[in-house]
Amino acid sequence: MSKAKYIFVTGGVTSSLGKGIISASLGKLLQARGLTVTIQKFDPYLNIDPGTLNPYEHGECYVTDDGAETDLDLGHYERFLSQPTSQANNITTGRIYDNVIQRERKGEFLGKTVQVIPHITDEIKNNIYKLGETGKYDIVITEIGGCVGDIESLPFIEAVRQARFELGPTNSASIHLTLVPYLRAAGELKTKPTQHSVKELLEAGIQPDILVCRSEYGLSQDIRKKLALFCNVPINAVIEARDAETIYDVPLLMRKEKLDERVLSKFKISYKKEPKIESWKEFLGKLKNPTGDVNIGLIGKYVELPDAYKSIAEAFVHAGAANECKVNLSWIHAEDLDGDNVHRELKDLDGILVAPGFGERGIEGKIYAVQYARENNIPFFGICLGLQCAIIEFARNVLKKKKANSTEMVSKTSYPVIDLMEDQKKITNMGGTMRLGSYSCHLKKGSRAHNVYGTTKVNERHRHRYEFNNKYLEDFENEGMIASGINPDTKLVEIMELNNHPWFVGTQYHPELKSTVKDPHPLFVRFIRAALETKQTNNL
């Protein structure tokens, strides 16, 4: 068995209490005490991964360096810890069953009846221990998605029970996140839902060591005593998690409540020193005391659900803080834009980002938004489909190829500036078959991209099937849209930018996936700077 210590985070009463943020915040605090930490999430649904899920169902699909399509909580883990995650950090019920069933087909169970217990729970435990066994981490935090008592999370809870038994009391800690609601009619906070939720956990054989209680109001000493008494935890293990102004406040709030110290005492790790969180505080200081502001429009297709663009929104938070500037994000539905209203709808923006996406819906509105940004010298940032729209717009309106399109939208277009990648043409299975994960990109010396990154070689993450059709590259470059980033192995175009424009950059990859509190992404930082400059010049 590895030397790693394991923290299990479960949730009760309701979903959406913020287990991901609590896990990331605790991870941050432990990391700030010099421990190496990784965070893993189990999702109890049957999809193998969220890659084929509609963003309305599940929010953004976050992509790791190794090309795993994962839950958006992994984005929080990376943004907080500044450390890459991988396929091993996100496992679904679907993947667990798939692994077990594949082994059954190979005959690996030697004629035994294959069952939830022990085979499924063993597979879950293997996936828990696997990260610790790499020897890279002192602490592995495992977040169990869903709520205690859900039928579909039962095998995970049972696996946690077994793992806690196998690991022993000083090598594992169980944190249960619940809601302590405020009943206006009674004028008080109510502990009963938490008591019930803990009972449910106890029934499954798990006594939580620490309770983290989400609440709109502070927990009085009386409430803490009551929770401690009825849930069998020491009073100092009742942790208040008040609603915070931003998710980035949560590590400091958890520090104030000494969540890190409770965990370390459980593990018998001494903790005399304070965690080193000065740079985090500095970031928060800048975030909360902006000296200016900019209006950025995010033109997308899933704007009713901001979670669909989580990493982009967070990358703007990081880039705003780096510029000491508040970024006011306007979420604009691409479908609502047309040639008549685009000027009116976008005129108050200092910068325009056209978002990633799939399929035809909203595509023409996105193209109008690009045209508006290009013609009116508004800083423009296109990501993935956003870059593809910028290419189509340029082909139609500058190269005068009115029929230009992506073969994703019109398969038989006469001017296919965006086309399916060669190795995508024979693919019929939709799950996990896009161009996924980290690829290297060479930047053209002297280009804006080179200037922004300050280097000629970068690695960025991808999630797409279509690409710029290199057949037309010369036409584009002759008119001032240049390919400033190229994949050195395949020659696929990764970045296009416009000469003669204050800031017009599109990337085939997703830079937002690598922006963290510690290292805000340079493209976002410089885009915001360009928007600030545009605003200043327009106000002169």
Residue 360 annotated among the catalytic residues of the structure: no
| Residue 407 beta carbon to ligand GLN: minimum distance, rounded to whole angstroms | 10
Choosing from 384, 441, 462, 464, which is the catalytic residue? 384
Task: Based on DSSP, count helices (H) and strands (E) in the chain, helices before strands.
Answer: 18, 23
Least separation in angstroms between CB 463 and ligand GLN = 5
C-alpha span between 525 and 527 (Å, rounded):
6
Under a CB-based contact definition with an 8 Å cutoff, are residues 76 and 57 in contact?
A: no
- Tell the smallest beta-carbon distance from residue 369 to ligand GLN (Å): 15
3-class secondary structure, 18: coil
Nearer Cβ to ligand GLN, position 148 or 492? 492
**Side chain identity at residue 337, one-letter code:** L
In whole angstroms, what is the distance from residue 138 CA to residue 131 CA? 10
User: To which H or E segment does residue 9 belong?
Assistant: strand 5-11
- Whose CA is closest to 359, among 308, 299, 410? 410
Measured from the CB atom, is 6 or 466 closer to ligand GLN? 466
Residue 355 CB, nearest approach to ligand GLN (Å): 8
Q: How far is the CB of 394 from ligand GLN (least distance, A)?
A: 17
CB nearer ligand GLN, residue 314 or residue 408:
408
Least separation in angstroms between CB 424 and ligand GLN: 9
Residue of 69, 143, 393, 512 marked active site: 512
Indicate the residue among 79 and 463 with the shorter CB distance to ligand GLN: 463
Q: Which of 176, 318, 462, 510 is catalytic?
A: 510
Which residue in 178, 237, 176 sits closest to 207, CA to CA? Answer: 176
- Based on the residue annotation, tell me whether 510 is a catalytic residue of this protein: yes
Toward ligand GLN, which CB reaches closer, 227 or 385?
Answer: 385
Between CA 292 and CA 440 the distance in angstroms is 35
CB 172 within 8 A of CB 6: yes
H or E element that contains 90: strand 90-92
For ligand GLN, which is the closer residue by CB, 357 or 362? 357
Rounded to 5 degrees, what are φ and ψ at 142?
-115, 115
Q: Which tokens go with 211?
A: 């309770």
Point out which residues bind ligand GLN (CB under 6 A).
Answer: 356-358, 384-385, 408, 463-466
- At 256, give phi and psi (nearest 5°): -60, -35
Which residues are catalytic, by number? 384, 510, 512
